[in-house]
Structure 1
Amino acid sequence: MKIFSKAQIYEGDALTSKKQGITSTDLMERAGTQIFNWLHMRLQGAQVPIHVFCGIGNNGGDGLVVARHLITHGYNVKTYIVNHSTTRSKDFLNNYERIKNTTKDWPVLLNDASELPAINEKDIIVDAIFGIGLNRPVDGWIKQFFNYFRSTKAFVLSIDIPSGLATDKAPKDPESVVNAGYTLSFQTPKLAFFLPETAKYTVQWEVLDIGIDPEYLYTTPTEAELIGKNEVLPIYQPRQKYSHKGTFGHALIIGGSYGKIGAVTLASRGALTIGAGKVTAYTPKCGYLPLQIGFPEAMVITDKDEEKITSIDFNISPNVIAFGVGVGSDKQTITAFEVFLKTNKTVLVIDADGLNILSKKKSLLKLLPENTVLTPHPKELERLIGQWEDDFDKLEKTKAFSKQYKCIVVIKGANTITVFGDKFYVNTTGNPGLATAGTGDVLTGIITGLIAQSYDALAATIFGVYLHGKSADVLIENLGYQSFIASHIIEGIPLAYLDLFKQPEQPKIEDEANDDKK
């Protein structure tokens, strides 16, 4: 699913009005009606008090459409106009006249001297104060309303985006943003829904189709894309009957040091379980027995040193090489990595201490083969690209880094984001169970194993991140967040693959018949 920018959303609205021969007010009516339909389907006429707070721009106009339909359908509605400026949009004014012609209970005008309306915990607040067009700080008296919303503990439904939240920068003052229980976003989700600093302002979100021109939606390229099952299915490469282990490539995992051989084991198991034909682990001598006993499917090459990697010398021809898991940052290891990079032409996946080595000696970044995959967690990323102002600035700095070194960067975390050049790929799978040691090592192995199978590096990264998270999702119901460990991801990979082709369950005919009899 594409994530359109603010400018693209405005462009799509204007093009839709032109191509479909409708006014912007007509399009606003369509959008507000969809919000009403969503509410009506869930409330079914229930007389819970609904408080619709409208700004004086287009988001407020959407709110007025919702309020008008709620009123005409007999709901218990109170409408408010948050009068934060002297400038009103044309479509807001059109819908203000419409609601005044619908009811004698006209909207209540609120300003900095107004008393706070009475709202109870079981009421519903519809937030239509500010939309994506907000371009200035929220006034202090409006923040009082936002804090009041929070204090009431009432359910808050935001229209398009929580009021006060921008589409391209994080708020400096958390009190200046509405905390929504649910956000109904028009036609496309907003990037802000998926970043740590801004996602917290809506518990859940849903996209409503408001009939934006299909050709525009289909043909317009976007900077960001949301990755779900529909997006990864075309990436999947089915296996042919007469394939053999050589068909699916040879992955080399270089890493480990004394006390950290588990990292190499996890990565190697991840690479083989995701489908690589062969996996070889390159470790210090102390890794030989643990790997041969604990993971007999892997081949093992050892360094001459007992506890650390001091040279990288092998006589095999892998299709892809992973470096860094558990490798440590000994001076001899750093030197070995530098010597290796000067002659290596094989595509790389670099994680953990490999990233820290690159951060310490940034001249090595120029030696990376094109399309190298880097998989940093936030601190490792900061060491690579420097500090950022907010999550949006982080993405811009990562994009610049990716373009400079022609590499793929995986920003690990909730909604892991893969950055390549000018594009962001936002993952939708995964859960808090993944916040445990070793899960990054498994991800390194998964991406490496997919590249070994001839997936190109970007496709392997997007697909690998998705399967990594989906494995956790399919297992978590039986394991719980707290008890989930990295090895479970490997156990869940087969289920993640099978889930790609699982069809949604359809109700049985006899169940429907029984429901009719009730």
Structure 2
Amino acid sequence: MKIFTKEQIYAGDTETAKKQNISSADLMERAGIQIFNWLHVRMQGAQVPIHVFCGIGNNGGDGLVVARHLITHGYNVHTYVVNCSTKRSKDFLVNYDRIKSVTKEWPTLLNCKEDFPAIDANDIIVDAVFGIGINRPVDAWVKGLFNHFRASKAYTLSIDIPSGLHTDQIPSDLESVVSAAHTLSFQTPKLVFFLPETAGFTVQWEVLNIGLDPEYLFNTQTEAELIGKNEVLPLYKPREKFSHKGTFGHAVIIGGSYGKMGAVTLASKAALVSGAGKVTGYIPKCGYTVLQTSVPEVMVITDKHEEYLISMTIDVEPSVVGIGVGMGTEKETVSAFTTFLETIKVPVVIDADAINCLSKSKKALKALPEFSVLTPHPKELERLIGTWSDDFDKLKKTKAFSKKHNVIVVIKGANTITVFQDKLFINATGNPGLATAGTGDVLTGIITGLISQGYEPLLATLFGVYLHGRAADLIIEDFGYQSLLASDVINGISEAYLDLFTQPESQTPEEDEEETKGKQKEK
């Protein structure tokens, strides 16, 4: 799913109005009806007080449309205009006149803290104060209104984006942003829904299709995309009847050191389970018995040194190499790693201590092969690209690193983001159970195993990150977040593959609505 910028959404609105020969007010009516329908399906006429807070721009106009339809359908509605400026948008004024035609109780004008209405914890707040176009600091009294929302503990539904949240920068004052229980985002999710510093402003989000021009949506290229089942299914390579283990490549996993052989074990097994034809582990001598015993399907080559790697001389012809898991950063290891990078001719997946070796050695960094896949956790990423001021700065610096070295960088996290050149690919799967030792090693193994089978490095990365998260999602009910182990995730890979071709079970209309495409569930 494409994630459009606010400028692209504005352009889409204009193109849609032109092609469909409708006014911007008509498009606003369409969007507002979608919000109303969402509420109506869930409330079924319940007389819970609904407080609709409207700004004086287009987002406020959307709110007025919602309020009008709620009123005409007999709901207990209280409508307010947050009078934060003297400038009203044209479509706001159109809908202000329309709501006055259906009720004698005109919207209440809010000008200061003394005007704030009483809100009970069992009430519903519809937040339509600011939209994606906000370009100035929030007034102090409006910030007070948002704190009033929070203090009420009422269920808060934001229209398009939580008010006060920008689409392209981190807010300087966190209290100036509405804390939404749910956000209904028009046509596309917003990038800020996936960043650690801003994702918390909406517990859940869902995309509503407001009928923007399909041709515009299809042809417009976006910086960011959300990668879910619909996006990865076309990547899947079915197996031919007469294929054999040689068809699916030979993956080599290089790593391990005394006391850290579990990492190589996990990565090697994950590479096999994800489909590599053959897997060889290249490890220090101390790990020979460990790896041979724990994963008998994996072949083993040992380094000259007993406790860590000093040479990395591979006497096989691999299809791909995954390197770094549990490897350590001894001086001899860094030197051997640099030599390895200067001579390797096949795709490379670089993780953990191999990334730390890159950070320690400019010579190694200079030798980094193009199209390598790097999978750092946050601290490893910081060692690689330097510190960042906020999440947008982190993305900017990661893109710059990717472009400079022509490599793929996986920013691991709750919403793992794969960066290649100027593109961002945001993963839709995964849960907090993955926050445990070894799951990164499993991811390295999965990506390595996919490249071994002939997937291009970028596609293998997107597919691998998805499978990794989906495996955890499918098995989490059996383990719970706290008890999930990395080895459990490996056992879930087969389920994740099968799930690609599984249709959802028949549900009630209400359940179908809850699982609308694009919904982000709270993990």
Give the alignment's TM-score, normalised by structure 1.
0.97
Q: Structure 2: how far apart are the matches of 1:314 and 1:68? A: 71
* Structure 2 Cα separation of the partners of residues 148 and 4 of structure 1: 31
C-alpha contact 2:247 2:453 (8 A) present in aligned 1: yes
1:364 maps to 364
Tell me whether 1:105 sits opposite 2:102 in the alignment.
Answer: no
- 2:455 match: 455
What is the 5 A alignment of 1:153-172? 153-172=153-172
Counterpart-to-counterpart distance in 1, 2:93 and 2:246: 68
SS in 2 for 1:424: strand
SS at match of 1:53: strand
What residue is the counterpart of 2:380 in the other structure?
380
Deviation, structure 1 residue 112 = 2.4
Structure 1 residue aligned with 2:512: none
8 Å Cα contact 2:338-2:363 kept in structure 1: no
Structure 2 match to 1:40: 40
Aligned to 2:91: 91
2:312 maps to 1:292: no
Paired residue for 2:188? 188
Q: Which deviations, in whole Å up to 9, do the C-alpha atoms of 1:441-496 show, x marking residues without a partner?
A: 00000000000000000000000000000000110011111110000011011100
Give the equivalent residue in structure 1 for 2:518.
none
Partner of 1:516: none
Please tell me whether residue 427 in structure 1 is matched to residue 433 in structure 2: no
Name the counterpart of 1:76: 76
Q: Deviations over 1:170-222 (max 9, x none)?
A: 11211011000000000111111111111100011111111100111111111
Residue aligning to 1:252 = 252
CA distance in 2, matches of 1:179, 1:232: 32
Task: Tell me, in whole angstroms, the C-alpha distance in 2 between the residues paired with 1:114 and 1:52.
Answer: 18
Distance across 2 between alignment mates of 1:507 and 1:186: 25
- The Cα shift of 1:365 comes to 2.0
> Secondary structure in 2 aligned to 1:498?
helix
Tell me which residue corresponds to 2:306: 306
Which residue is equivalent to 1:406?
406
SS of alignment partner, residue 334 of structure 2: helix
- 8 Å contact 2:113–2:145 — kept in the other structure? no
Q: Percent identity?
A: 71
Q: What is the rounded CA distance, in whole Å, between the counterparts of 1:410 and 1:270 in structure 2? A: 18
Report the CA distance between 1:115 and its aligned residue: 2.9
SS at match of 1:233: helix
**Hey, what does 1:204 align to over in structure 2?**
204
Provide the rounded CA distance (Å) in 2 between the counterparts of 1:271 and 1:278. Answer: 9
Paired positions, count: 508
Work out the CA distance in 2 between the residues paired with 1:420 and 1:366: 18
Aligned residue for 2:426, secondary structure, equals: strand
Match of 2:391 in 1: 391
- What SS does the aligned partner of 1:98 have? helix
Q: Counterpart of 1:100 in structure 2: which amino acid? A: K
Alignment partner of 2:197: what SS?
helix
1:96–1:507 CA distance, 2 compared to 1 (3 A): closer
Letter aligned with residue 265 of structure 1? T
Give me the whole-angstrom Cα distance separating, in 2, the residues matched to 1:374 and 1:96. Answer: 53
Q: How does 1:465-480 map to 2 (within 5 A)?
A: 465-480=465-480
* Partners of 1:504 and 1:362 in 2: CA distance: 50
Equivalence for 2:174? 174
Q: CA deviation at 1:113?
A: 5.0
Which residue identity lines up with residue 234 of structure 1 in the other structure? P
Q: Specify the code of the residue in structure 2 equivalent to 1:318.
A: P
Report whether the alignment pairs 1:261 with 2:261: yes
| Matching residue of 1:355 | 355
Q: Distance in 2 between matches of 1:59 and 1:246?
A: 58
Which residue of structure 1 lines up, in the alignment, with residue 66 of structure 2? 66
Instruction: Quickly say closer, same or farther: Cα 1:263–1:113, change in 2 above 3 A.
Output: closer
Letter in 2 for 1:480: G
Task: Give the secondary structure class of the aligned counterpart of 2:235.
Answer: coil
1:234 counterpart SS class: helix
Is the 2:337–2:364 contact (alpha carbons within 8 Å) kept by the matching residues of 1? no
SS in 2 for 1:205: strand
1:346 aligned partner, one-letter code: V
State the one-letter code of the partner of 2:220. Answer: T
Quote the offset at 1:507 in angstroms.
5.8
SS of the aligned residue for 2:198 comes to helix
C-alpha separation between the residues in 2 aligned to 1:272 and 1:99?
63
How far the C-alpha of 1:95 sits from its partner, in A, is: 0.7
Q: CA deviation at 1:362?
A: 3.2
Separation of aligned partners in 1, 2:295 and 2:288: 10
Match in the other structure for 1:277? 277
The CA deviation string for residues 228-252 of structure 1, in whole angstroms up to 9 with x for no partner, is 1100000000000100000000001
**2:520 corresponds to:** none
What letter matches 1:97 in structure 2? Answer: D
CA distance in 2, matches of 1:383, 1:367: 17
Is 1:16 aligned to 2:16, yes or no? yes
Runs of 5+ unmatched residues, structure 2? 509-523
What secondary structure does 2:241 align onto? coil
Residues 1:144 and 2:144 are matched in the alignment: yes
Moved over 3 A (4+): none
* d(CA) in 1 for partners of 2:113, 2:383: 49
8 Å CA contact 2:410–2:419 kept in 1: the answer is yes
The one-letter amino acid paired with 1:444 is T
State the match for 1:339 in structure 2.
339
The residue identity in structure 2 corresponding to 1:358 is L
Deviations, residues 51-93 of structure 1 (Å, cap 9, x unaligned): 0000000000000000111111111111111111111111111
Q: Distance in 1 between matches of 2:113 and 2:318?
A: 72
**Is 1:486 aligned to 2:506, yes or no?**
no
Match of 2:2 in 1: 2
Q: Report the counterpart of residue 230 of structure 1 in structure 2.
A: 230
**C-alpha RMSD over aligned residues:** 1.0
Scaled by the length of structure 2, the TM-score of the pair is 0.96
Which consecutive unaligned segments of at least 5 residues does structure 1 have? 509-518
Instruction: Write out per-residue CA displacement over residues 89-108 of structure 1, whole angstroms, 9 at most, x where no aligned residue.
Output: 11111111111122110111
Counterpart Cα distance in 1 of 2:349 and 2:206: 35
CA distance in 2, matches of 1:410, 1:36: 39
Q: 1:170 to 1:321 in 2, by over 3 A?
A: same
